[in-house]
Amino acid sequence: MLRAEARRVNRSQEMSVAGDLSRRSVWVLLLAVTAALALHAPTLRSGLLADDFLHDAMLRGTFPVERSAWDLYAFVKSEVERSALIDRGVLPWWSHPDLRLAGLRPLASLSLALDHALGLSPPLRHAVSLGWFALLVVLAGVWYRRILPPAAATIALFVFALDPAHVSPVGWLANRTTVMCGVFVLLALLATESLLARPTRAKQGAVVLATGLALASGEYALSGVGIAVGWLLLSGRGTPRSRRVALALWLGPTLAYLGLHLSLGYGAVGSSNYVNLLASPSVFALAMVLRLPALLASESFLLPGELVHGALVLDFGMSIVLVALLVGAAWLVGYRVLREAGAAPRAQYLAASLGLVLAVLPLVATLPSFRLLAIPSLAGAALVALLLAFGLTALRRSGWIGRVLLFAALSGALFIHTALAGGVSYQSVRAVTAGREALADQLAVAKGAAGADTWLLLNAWDLSFSWLPWAQETAGGVAPPAWRVLATCSRPLTLTRTGPSSFTLSAKEAPMLADPGPALFRAIDAPLEEGSTVTLRGLRVRVDRSARWGVSQLAFTLDDDLDAERYAFFATNQGRLERLRMPQVGSALELPSAAP
């Protein structure tokens, strides 16, 4: 009966996209887009970051392995490539022997290649990303107007526009793939709504085409598939037959994409940050337990996913109880609010809830982060909007205790997803743009080592330094033939020169290679064992002492005397790069904290 009533309400509210865009709706859309663009406009000055430099090297033809314009996200695909990339320093010495990191994102890749072919400056490239983002917000507003009551649609649009999940996809060129996935996902969702209202072959083709374009933009589109499945299963839109047809139209391209992804050798193997269900089922199951709650907590309360995940790793019992209580309470408050709101809002709430869970499921393959939630936030914003739109009615009908609790919940949700979300987005945008200044300082220091053929960084505090040679190349310089990041650790280290061409690094307060960055290149089920050695061209590394999450002492041996001009040693001092002169044989040198 609930489904029948929902269908009657939905049929009475069906209208075309043009009809949705009333004058008031247009002004609301313009305001939301303006706010979103104003918030993210500083990213025009952020320049290139991280993988952007590798993409530029691929397009210039200076990357150690050849890549076509549609395959820029395939960083390492085979053993031969892995050796070449480690030899040059694109991959660090501790990389897993079977490491594979390759994303199938042809459309996003071609978008970046087009920027390069047109000779666009970094600000113009970021302007392209902002254009995609503006389209994303517009389409989100249209979709919300199609599926939600007017007040809820307006709230959802602004919650979505302010979400900090968009900062990285908009401000980092390599992450434009997420915005492109979102645009095509929304086109597919809008085509699906039109199909449910009045099925035609043309509309079926539109659903398949938009879904295919979303998946061709990147695997983030799988989150959109989850939202669509949740909506088709529980929203009550259309007839049962039309929903089954629409479901098949979404799943067909999805299965084809997954088949291509597997058969062509794409995916991640040998990494802890990226886990593969087929390659390591047990590790993937562990990731599901640790990462799914972190992602849901991050979407619900704007808690940094990395911190929640870290808490779950360090103290799972207490942390999972707290996360379950928070997320469960938030969902139950929403359901309580909508209990008397009518069949359609209840169905929408349940559909969005299922869609959110299904949307974050594919993301457990990646270390939790705000940037992963750009597409799941479509469902998350709908949930928040339904809660706030119907909350006042529920407030009036509650007893005084219920009113106090409900008022606190509504006030908290409003604050978190508007004021706090906007503030977090603003600070995150500033952090992204600050990266350009830090890079300029690094390049200035590295410029003095132009004559050396091997650069060695002793203590990186994160992996932002890994791209230094290719950043120099992009800036018009020449990358060294070999670049070695020897260790990562935010705390002080002790360097002891044990011979003319050898030295050790010892951790004093925290182990080396223990932070999430190094885990990108080595799986958790293949740790570096005490006594193991790694031999590269011109460098031999021995693990002298291992630790619980990393290593506490490493021994390094080079081909020549450490004082030879061919070597340039660097250290990180509180976030700043410094050129370092090695101590005399038998002497030790204290390296300060690397973190700023």
User: What is the average pLDDT across 555-565?
Assistant: 91
Strand partners, 534: 541
* The two structure tokens encoding residue 324: 């379950």
Q: Are 246 and 232 in contact (CB under 8 A)?
A: yes
Share above pLDDT 90 across residues of the chain, in percent, rounded to a whole number:
41
Confidence check: pLDDT of 185 > 90: yes
User: What is the average pLDDT across 454-471?
Assistant: 82
Q: Are 434 and 167 in contact (CB under 8 A)?
A: no
Confidence check: pLDDT of 269 > 90: no
What 3-state DSSP class applies to 476?
coil
Give the chain's mean pLDDT: 87
Q: Are 467 and 92 in contact (CB under 8 A)?
A: no
Strand partners, 542: 533, 555
Burial of 477 (0-12, 13-18, 19+ CB in 10 A): middle
Q: Are strands 567-573 and 454-457 parallel, antiparallel or unpaired?
A: parallel
CA distance 555 to 433: 37
The model's pLDDT over 121-145, given as tens digits with 9 standing for 90+, comes to 999 999 999 999 999 999 999 999 9
CA distance 558 to 66: 29
Instruction: Find tokens 């659903």 and name the residue.
Output: 207
Task: Name residues whose C-beta falls within 8 Å of residue 314's C-beta, 6 or more positions apart in sequence.
Answer: none
The model's pLDDT over 330-352, given as tens digits with 9 standing for 90+, comes to 888 888 888 777 788 888 999 99
The model's pLDDT over 281-330, given as tens digits with 9 standing for 90+, comes to 777 888 888 899 999 999 988 888 888 878 887 788 888 888 888 888 88
Q: Are 380 and 226 in contact (CB under 8 A)?
A: no
Q: Are 539 and 92 in contact (CB under 8 A)?
A: no
Q: Give me the pLDDT at residue 467, please.
A: 81
CA distance 568 to 564: 9
The model's pLDDT over 370-410, given as tens digits with 9 standing for 90+, comes to 889 999 999 999 999 999 988 877 777 777 777 788 888 88
CA distance 312 to 33: 37
Q: Give me the pLDDT at residue 52, please.
A: 92
Q: Give me the pLDDT at residue 20, please.
A: 46
CA distance 344 to 1: 11
Q: Are 297 and 308 in contact (CB under 8 A)?
A: yes
Q: Are 550 and 511 in contact (CB under 8 A)?
A: yes
CA distance 224 to 228: 6
Q: Are 29 and 138 in contact (CB under 8 A)?
A: yes
Around 539, how many Cα atoms within 13 Å sit in the side-chain half-sphere?
24
Distance of CA 497 to the CA centre of its chain: 40
